[in-house]
Chains A and B, each alone.
Chain A
Amino acid sequence: MAATVSTLYSHHDRAALLESRQATRENPWVKGSILVAALSFFGVFLLLPLLVVFVEALAKGWGTYIDALTEPDARSAIWLTLGAAAISVPLNLVFGVAAAWAITRFEFRGKQLLITLIDLPFSVSPVVAGLVYVLVFSNHGWFGPWLSAHDIKIIFAIPGIVLATVFVTVPFIARELIPLMQAQGREEEEAAVVLGARGWQVFWHVTLPNIRWALLYGVILSNARAMGEFGAVSVVSGHIRGETNTLPLHVEILYNEYNFAAAFAVASLLALLALLTLVVKSWVEWRARRD
C-alpha cells in the first residue's frame, strides 16, 4: 500500500512541480480553458457513451435486465464468446512468446519485415479480415469443395468465428513483449545457459519472471478484443441465433429488432468486461512500476 501512495505521489508531484515553475506553467486562464476543453471532450466522447449503456440497460428495470441475460440465446452467445476467447488467446500467447523470443534473442535477415507483418492485422479492416476466410473456406472458396465433400463446416460455423478472432488478435501479445524483451537484452539468459541451464529452464526461471506483467497485459488486451470483435466475426458467423452468435452479434440482432433494453443489457455485460479490462490494466501497470 505504501508503494501505491508513493507512485501516486510521484505522479502528482511531477504535475505539481511543472505547475509550480514559472517556465513550465501557463497563466490560470489558459490552463483553465485547456482543462475545460479537454475534460468536456472527455466527458462527451468517452464518459457519456459509457454511462448511457448502463442507464439504457436498466431503463426497464432489473427484471428485464436479468431476463435479457438469462434467455437461452443470450446464454449460448455468452458461452460461444467465452469459448472463442479461450481458444484464440492461448494460441496467440504461444505465438507472441515464440515471436518475441525469435525477434529479440537472435539476429536474422528480414527481422524488420517480420515485425511489420505481425502488425498487419492491426491495420487491416475487420471486415476484410472476415472476408479473407470466406475466400479460403466458403463453398465458393479455395477449400470449399473439399470441405463440403468431407462435411466440414468452417464458414457460418464456430471454426470460422474462432479463426476470425485469432486473426484480429494476433499482434497483441507479441507487440507487448517485443519492446520489453528487446530492452531487457539477452545477458541474463546467456548467463543462465553458461551456468548450465537448459532451454526450457532458462525460459521458465529467467525470461518468464521478467516478462510476466507485460505478458498478462497482452493477454488482457487480446482477451478484450477477442470477446468484443464484431466486424470480422460478423462476416463469417452467418448470424444463426443460438448457434453462431457471439455477444456483440447478439447485441446487434436485439438492437435491429428494436429490443433496446435487452440490447443494452447484453451490451452492459460487454461494457463491464471493458471496465474490468481497464482496472486490471491499471493494476498491472502499477505492479510493473512497483517491481
Chain B
Amino acid sequence: MFEGFSSIILNIDFYAAIVRMSTPLLLGAIGSLMAERAGIVTFSMESMMLMGTVGGIIGSGLMNNAWAGVGLAIIFGVLIGLIYGIWAVSIGSHQIVTSVGLNLGSLGITSILYALTFMKGGEVVEEIIKVPTLPITKIPLLGDIPFIGPVFFNHYPLVYVGYLLVPMVWYILYKTTWGLKVRAVGEHPHAADTVGISVIKVRYQTLILSGAFSGLAGAFLSICMLGSFQENMTAGRGFIAYTAIVFGKWQPIGVALGTLLFGAADALQLRIQAMNENIPYQFLIMLPYVVTMIALISVVGRASWPAASGLPFKREEG
C-alpha cells in the first residue's frame, strides 16, 4: 500500500492530474467569486456547470468543432445565470432554495437536451456519442521546463484560461472602479445605493460572469476530458467549487488554493482506484467530499463572508 502510494506521489503525471482536476473547480469558483462578493450565494454553480457540459457536447457535435461547443457552453451557463438572477436578484427569493431548484432541474434538462439533439429517427441513441474535443496544447518554451513544463504547461487550453482568471479577478476586484462597486454591493448594498450604484445591475453583471465561467467549467469536463456526455456528469463539482470559495474566504488566491486541494483529492482517489488495492471504489469516490468536510471544519468561525451575502436588496426600508 505504502509503496503504491509513494509511486503515485513520485509520478509527475499525478501533479499534472491535480492541475487538470482542479481546473473545472477553479473556473467555476473564481468565475463566481465576483457574484459572491456582490452578495449572491452562487450555490447555483452546479446547474451552470451541468448546462455547460451539455452545451459543450451539443455545440461541438452539431458544428463538428470543439470551440463551437465552448461557445454554446458559455451561452447555456449565462442563461442559467440570468434565470437565477430573475429569482435571486429581481424577485428576491431564497437563494439556496432557488439554487437547489435549478440544480435538480438542470439534471433533467441536460439529459433531455442531449437526447433530443442526438436522436436518430425518433430513437434515442444507445451508444455513447463522441464529439470533437479541444486538443492538448503545449505552451512553447514554458512547456519544456523540466517538471514545471509537463505539470503546468502541457494542458487543454481552458486550463490556461483558469491560470489567467485568478490574477484577473483579483485585479478587477481590487484595482478597478467596477470591482469596488462589486465589493460595496456585497458588503453594504444600501450604502452603494445612496451613491447612485445600481445594486441590481451590478449583481446581474456578476451573475453573467458566474454563468459564463461555470459554463466553461462544464465544457472542460465534457469536451476536454471526455468528448462525451453522461448524466450528472459534474457529480457535485459545483458544490465543491462553492466550498472552495468558503475555504478560500472569498479571496482569489485562497479560493484558487482551495480548488487545488480538492483537485488533488480527486486526482489521488482516481489513482488509488487504478492501483487496484482491495479498497471498494465507492470509498475512494468519497475522498474529495470527505476532504471538503474536513476543510470546512478548519475554516469554521474564521470565515468572513460578504456582509450582505444571500440577502436580497430592497430599496424602501429606510
> Does B associate with A?
no
